[in-house]
Structure 1
């Protein structure tokens, strides 16, 4: 599942920011400075090899190949070497070693859910000047997606797909609930969850996972703030609401309680009637339970309207010796034709806003969800030590729900603020 990929971060990479990348020119030694293509005698530009590293399944691999197919017609002096890894785990095991050996890639594809660690440690290069140099049209991309790639007013990645959060409801269970109006507020979520809870089914799936907990944080006006606001009253309210689904209202079930690896499996097995979710539920249900009908809704309000807006993006490593050429590759890879191929071949929702209607033609039930993302989309904004923060957050929430040994949400978030916060 794509949203899980950010959990597979490798802390070794953060210690390697000073190591150079090994992509090279194939003629002579000119063009080794960032942004330079160099020239040979006779004013002929030398060929520069730009390496792009990513993880992909079979359909994603075809789209990555399509992204760079024909590049030489636009940029005759640039060649792309593709480094594909079958899983994100293998990607994060290999890339740090490659950087240390001086043969790291120029471009990496990753999710913005865990990119803050790499931005703050200087692993990724700012792209603003490069965007201007190659004439990339930033405004083509859905604006809310840039929030997850921006720090200190500098941009560190170009989104190549888009995703968001939503509320998924089992349509048949909703129709049997006796409630006729779909929920627009979190209070209405609780009422519907109560109405759909039976001896065999819980009304809502409470996945103890950073993505899902963050949906409630956002709904109550909260934000992790990259570590600045971990223990804000809004965050406390959001996490407390999540906990209360289990302890106070007794309408929630966690995947770990039924031995399921993730929330989508609980939903498709119809052991939970409703869940915070994302567009990937559409594809999952087609495979896991094709007869099941789903209602997809924008995230309901707690105190504010908010839902996640995030993406996978292409970033340039700070150690790349060919940053301008790498940016030319990114510009070409984000052309409309490649985005349309991603819709057809992979089922991705595009990052280019003008092409989103093409995706929604195939998935009309998601239109209200993406409309809301464009209006109120927010980044995850996890603290710099993302992986460790996630582990401690989930450990604490599990302790509150399952051990009930005196730990409170307020104390948990205060402790996390002390450990992972920044001023």
Structure 2
């Protein structure tokens, strides 16, 4: 065989092998691409997630609608259907959970949260938080802790409110008071100066959701380490001060004794110069008393600063058939994109710390609510919940009505009523 012929033969074999290799590689690449596309298609299969919420104001419904519209842009394969539960929310929700017809994710208030967290009907979120790298440290600790049970996290807070002191600026100016009170002593003194001409310095309700802040400010606690602690001496001292503003100092009264339904009504009607309420008071006053000249300050402190944190979380139904998609929705609604709608609305406070400065810039007059978040105590008493609230409220009412003279005895009775 000639060298020339041998060279041609070798070249032909080389070219042929290269072509075949190319075809094989192309086939493998095509197969791999097809496999990837198939996986993506399987991941992007249409899924429907039901979101349960209670019947609320049109403003809150708009926030959720806008959040979902934005979520759909990011996850077009996930359809979100809102189920508005009217009437007794918790009763109907528990019925749906028992019959396996509950939504995939739904609102849960901090007060009844322990009942559901302990009953095994909620999906723990810890694995999903880790899987999707959710920064839970950005949530206010008081909010997140309200939805943690026995070392597991069951909900991510969607928003919250704290208590603050509303004060009538015109009444303050007329009384020569330059700034809102910062301590209990100042609160009493200022209330005295403002109590005149049929107006009380302060309106106070016989409601644990208001006087619990004073208990915490005095170093007390209503619930601690799984036990009800209603009758601690610090609690009695705080309740004695709170009720004493009505019965002893005569500088405050209940809204009912003023002929009004709640604190907001009495403040709006200018029957009280100060009131202790949350951010929900703002839209109420805008409608009820649009010309009222008022300010908002942090609550006056006792031994320490404290206020209450009222919060709601999104939680996941343990029987959801689409848990990853359900968590993606929770993550979005409580993440920075979703929380921006909360900031823009001003209806409540964003639950993420990183969003709160933006809220204060947009609503500087509401800074007291945000500033209180760092020392707020969650509105929650374990599995005893409403039993604690009912017993404490009765104790406060009995003192105001002078059916009993000792705050300590009233709280001792309340402790017995709860069964501890």
Query: What TM bracket, shorter-length normalisation?
Result: 0.7 to 0.9
Change in Cα spacing, 1:119 to 1:210, as seen in structure 2 (3 Å) is farther
* Structure 1 residues 13-412: aligned runs within 5 Å: 46-55=45-54, 56-72=56-72, 74-75=74-75, 78-85=78-85, 89-225=87-223, 227-345=227-345, 347-374=347-374, 376-402=375-401, 404-406=402-404, 408-412=406-410
Q: Which moved more, 1:73-82 or 1:332-341?
A: 73-82
Q: Secondary structure at the match of 2:103?
A: coil
1-side partners of 2:270 and 2:406: how far apart? Answer: 31
2-side partners of 1:156 and 1:421: how far apart? Answer: 28
Q: 1:45 Cα shift? A: 6.1
Q: 1:201 Cα shift? A: 0.7
Q: 1:413 Cα shift? A: 2.0
Q: Which moved more, 1:208-217 or 1:72-81?
A: 72-81
1-side partners of 2:245 and 2:327: how far apart? Answer: 46
1-side partners of 2:64 and 2:385: how far apart? Answer: 27
2-side partners of 1:285 and 1:70: how far apart? Answer: 31
Q: Secondary structure at the match of 1:159?
A: strand
RMSD of aligned alpha carbons: 2.6
Q: Secondary structure at the match of 1:96?
A: helix
Change in Cα spacing, 1:97 to 1:129, as seen in structure 2 (3 Å) is same
Structure 1 partner of 2:411: 413
Question: Normalized per residue, which structure has more helix?
Answer: 2
Deviations 1:95-117 (A, max 9, x none): 23322322111211132244233
Q: 1:90 Cα shift? A: 4.3
Deviations 1:215-259 (A, max 9, x none): 211221122225432222222222221111111111111112233
Q: 1:268 Cα shift? A: 0.8
Q: 1:311 Cα shift? A: 1.9
- 1:63, 1:338 within 8 Å by CA — same for their partners in 2? no
Deviations 1:245-287 (A, max 9, x none): 1111111111122332221111111111112122222222222
* Structure 2 unaligned residues grouped into runs of 5+: 1-37
Change in Cα spacing, 1:259 to 1:319, as seen in structure 2 (3 Å) is farther
- 2:164, 2:368 within 8 Å by CA — same for their partners in 1? no
Change in Cα spacing, 1:238 to 1:150, as seen in structure 2 (3 Å) is farther
Q: Secondary structure at the match of 1:167?
A: strand
Q: Secondary structure at the match of 2:276?
A: strand
1-side partners of 2:325 and 2:379: how far apart? Answer: 30
- 2:110, 2:380 within 8 Å by CA — same for their partners in 1? no
- 2:299, 2:307 within 8 Å by CA — same for their partners in 1? yes
Q: Secondary structure at the match of 2:383?
A: coil
- 1:205, 1:255 within 8 Å by CA — same for their partners in 2? yes
Q: Which moved more, 1:362-371 or 1:233-242?
A: 362-371
The structure whose Rg is larger is 2
Aligned residues: 380
Deviations 1:16-66 (A, max 9, x none): xxxxxxxxxxxxxxxxxxxxxxx99x9566544322100232121121122
- 2:295, 2:365 within 8 Å by CA — same for their partners in 1? yes
Structure 1 partner of 2:9: none
1-side partners of 2:123 and 2:304: how far apart? Answer: 34
Change in Cα spacing, 1:44 to 1:249, as seen in structure 2 (3 Å) is closer
Change in Cα spacing, 1:282 to 1:44, as seen in structure 2 (3 Å) is closer
